[in-house]
Amino acid sequence: MTQPSEREVTRSVQDYLKTIYKLQGDGPVQTSALAEQMRVAPPSATNMVARLAEAGFLRHTPYKGAELTDAGAGIALEVIRHHRLWELFLHRALGVPIDRLHDEAERLEHELSDELEERIARALGEPTLDPHGDPIPSREGEVDATAFPALADLPIGMPAIIRRVPDNDPGFLRYLESLDLLPGATVAQRAREPFRGPITLDVGGVERVIGYELASRVRVEAVTTKA
């Protein structure tokens, strides 16, 4: 899906487009929100938004925000595909721990030839999910938008499988790993205290007590027993 012109897109442009893509799930993206996410001063983000609009990657409406055009979204999705393929490859093929994947992929996502992308995708069996449970966009830029409820909201006693964890917080991921709370694990709430208090979990037969905040950042799919 790479056109020759995309090769000239700088790393910084790729990062902005990727970030706008992730933010625009909630509607047009304000420059202030973009600046915060990119950790730059607001004027830098304003400049870049103007440049990206001029290049045809987004439309910017004053007081409303920025929205990616198809061309902008296409580049964002390709970078995200690279990122998530790298994460899975580093994890499966090289045994890189889950808390290290995101930072490594942040660098590598900008450097992936079409040929290597194909080889990695094939070697991994055309995967659709990265190790954090985030969907890997297809070559055509299609992405699975399934949303899963938070572990914190799971009814007591209902078994569920962990589907998604945040990808960019190493300390949080190490803690989740120490509790065996990574994608694929089976969990159920045994008890929970009111007012966002501690939640007692059954994790594969082992009892674990976690905080509400942690449980709200982990996404699960309830296991409904077949009739």
Which residues in this chain contact Zn ion in the complex, by CB under 5 A? 102, 167
* Closest to Zn ion by CB, 103 or 114: 103
Closest approach, Cβ 132 to Zn ion, in A, equals: 6
Pick between residue 99 and residue 167 the one whose CB is nearest to Zn ion: 167
For residue 45, the minimal CB distance to Zn ion (Å) is: 22
Instruction: Give long-range contacts, CB 8 A cutoff, 24+ apart: 50-54.
Output: 51/13, 52/13, 52/16, 52/17
Q: Give the nearer residue to Zn ion in terms of CB position, either 13 or 84.
A: 84
Closer residue to Zn ion in complex, CB, 78/167:
167
- Record the tokens describing residue 138, joined without a space: 């297809």
Taking the complex as a whole, the smallest distance from the CB of residue 190 to Zn ion amounts, in Å, to: 31
Work out how close the CB of 171 gets to Zn ion at its nearest, in angstroms, rounded to a whole number: 15
Least gap, CB of 128 to Zn ion (angstroms): 15
Closer to Zn ion by Cβ: residue 141 or 170: 170
